[in-house]
Amino acid sequence: MTRLLHISASPRGTASESLAIATTFLDAYREAHPGDTVDHYDLWDGTLPEFGPAGAGAKMTVFGGASPEGAQHHAWAAARAVFDRFDSYDRYLFSVPMWNAGVPYVLKQFIDVISQPGWVFGFDPEQGYTGLLQGKKAAVVYTSAVYGPGRAPSFGADFQSTFFNDWLSWAGITESTAIEFRPNLATSDPETSRRQAHAQAREEGKRF
């Protein structure tokens, strides 16, 4: 039985375009894969631990070949619990709105918590990084209200999909698909592009 985890980075609930498109994707996925497990991880639910001085110290301790102790041990264990939850799934759906040309800080926090040596990546002094999340696949819903491909630089830049796609590849998730909804809400009616995004989400959900 396949397990899919929807990881949402929007705090806007029913007002969120990325969550609405993700819901369309998941409805189609459940219909096409009735025996699969589908769960939701809301990154805003308050359970995501911080990764501050103790966590950073633990990471460098592990890099040095030792075991974290004291506060470092507790920070490392909290991060490991998040990773174990994430790693127990085969497929991922991420709903990612654009914030200030990038991703919401809570998604970056999630990435910083789980992206640890021996979990998400391996490292060789001569060969560099190796992604360890191989054999998994992802779908990503990207939304933005002003930025869009082909618009003038004054409408923003995309450090959202470029950053997140790079992280997926770096982590070893090389099979991924993107669904984008990028209307210029300030000057145009978004309904046509919204329908297109939901139609793509239904198709991607069926064959994911």
CATH number for the domain that contains residue 59: 3.40.50.360
pLDDT value, residue 187: 61
Alpha helices in the chain (DSSP H): 17-32, 53-63, 71-87, 105-114, 161-171, 191-207
Phi and psi at residue 124, in whole multiples of 5°? Answer: -120, 130
Task: Look up the pTM and report it.
Answer: 0.94
Amino acid at residue number 73: H
Residue 41 tokens read as: 């991880």
pLDDT at residue 151 in the model: 87
Q: Which residues of the chain have pLDDT under 70?
A: 185-188
The sign of the dihedral angle between the CA atoms of 11, 105, 191, 198 is negative
48: nearest Cα among 92, 8, 91, 95: 8
| pLDDT value of position 192 | 86
Report how many domains make up the chain: 1
The reported pLDDT for the residue numbered 186 is: 60
Residue 27's domain comprises: 3-207
